[in-house]
Amino acid sequence: MGEIRKGNNNNLPLEGTRVLEVSEGVAGPYCGRYLASMGAEVVKIERPPLGDWTREIGPFIEGIRDGDNSALYSYNNQGKKSVLLDWTSVNGMENLQSLVPEFDILIEDWDLNFRDDIGIERTELVDSNPGLIEISVTPFGLSGPYARWKSSPLVQLALGGYLYLTGERGKEPLMLPGRQPDYLTGLNATAAIHIALWERERSGTGQFLEMSMLETLATLHQFTMEMTTFEGVLRMRNGNQWQKESSFASYGITTLPCSDGYVCFGISTEDQWERLCAMIGREDLIDDPNYDTRIKRADNSEYLDGLLTEWIADRTRREIFVETSEIWGLPTAPILDMSEVVKDEQFLFRNIFQDQVLGPGKTFTFPKYPYIASEMEPRIGNPPALGEHTEDVLGAK
């Protein structure tokens, strides 16, 4: 098994570490993607004949519906090896178990139903391989009343308390687009694995880890939970405006229309409030007793939104962004769509996106990693073709 090494440009910190990924979808593969970027050898086991189900999810390169052309699969499986093996059969599971001793880390997404069907206990593989770090990435974990139930990003956001907060007060909750619960869970799984690797360096033994998508969301609430547990105040949906109840109530966190779209303001401190008043030519509000506390301003949010809308109505998003940020030192931003995000000067300056050639010579843009390190450069490899490395990995088996 590999050792944790200090990284540099030629020797990434997980060089020599071997990862067996038996996980489909987004959360587990996203975790594996991060480990691969840090130099780990990630061998992805895929079930024949189609492999990971995300291979069948579009959009596809040049619109060709092919298992190797999926954008979703390509993004989450960069730099891995692909091996075809049906672990859902008894013989396949036995073959998989024979591979485990050769690896440092096992990423899997086996829920209780699958474990019962195949007859594998929770810590069985770790018990028989003392140096192994196994992480189980599932929607609800391997215990509790929901552990056997099916899930999706929508279900996770609903149970995690996020849909309740999104939308207009008195109207239906609104869906967040994408698979944020899965990606956040994958990030948490990566952190848990790194901690377990450090612990293995100290103790010499691996361990079994569980990562629940639902618990990932529940631990992110912070002040929403504090409002309920400390003050007994239930946070509500407020549309474009900030919370109007509890000690967290304030005015200045809002989203408003301008001449070419929408801009958001993040005014949250007294000095920012005073600069906002000066910027729109209403310094009188600073000493007005109707607006001298955060709660009073929250109670008058509709009127204040109207004043701010008048000031921005004839300005473009760019004009507002530059003036408020450079001249007045206020936290604001234009609302960008994705075509604007990939061309934004801040992202381009910091080189956060990378072009890759996939399929028949086509170039596509993918995000890199959201950090810059002085002593290493994360590796971004191409996604594997289905079963590309089966013979190399299983040939001797």
Q: What is the pLDDT along the chain (397 residues), one digit of tens a residue?
A: 555 444 344 589 999 999 999 999 999 999 999 999 999 999 999 999 999 999 999 999 888 888 898 999 999 999 999 999 999 998 999 999 999 999 999 999 999 999 999 999 999 999 999 999 999 999 999 999 999 999 999 999 999 999 999 999 899 999 888 899 999 999 999 999 999 999 999 999 999 999 999 999 999 988 888 888 888 888 888 888 888 888 888 899 999 999 999 999 999 999 999 999 999 999 999 999 999 999 999 999 999 999 999 999 999 999 999 999 999 999 999 999 999 999 999 999 999 998 988 877 788 888 998 888 998 999 989 999 999 999 999 985 5
Please name the residue that has the structure tokens 């408020």: 324
**Strand ranges across the sheet with 261-266:** 253-258, 261-266, 332-334
Exposure string for 242-270, b = 16+ CB within 10 A, e = fewer: bbbebebbbbbbbebebeeeebebebeee
Task: Please tell me the distance from the alpha carbon of residue 76 to that of residue 26, in angstroms, as a whole number.
Answer: 7
Domains of the chain as residue ranges with CATH: 18-218+361-394 (3.40.50.10540), 233-337 (3.30.1540.10)
User: What's phi and psi for 56, nearest 5 deg?
Assistant: -100, 10
Please choose, from the candidates 91, 72, 95, the residue with its C-alpha nearest in 3D space to the C-alpha of residue 24. Answer: 72
Q: How far apart are CA 280 and CA 284, in angstroms?
A: 11
Block residue for tokens 């987004």: 26
C-alpha 197/C-alpha 195 separation (Å) is 5
pTM here?
0.92
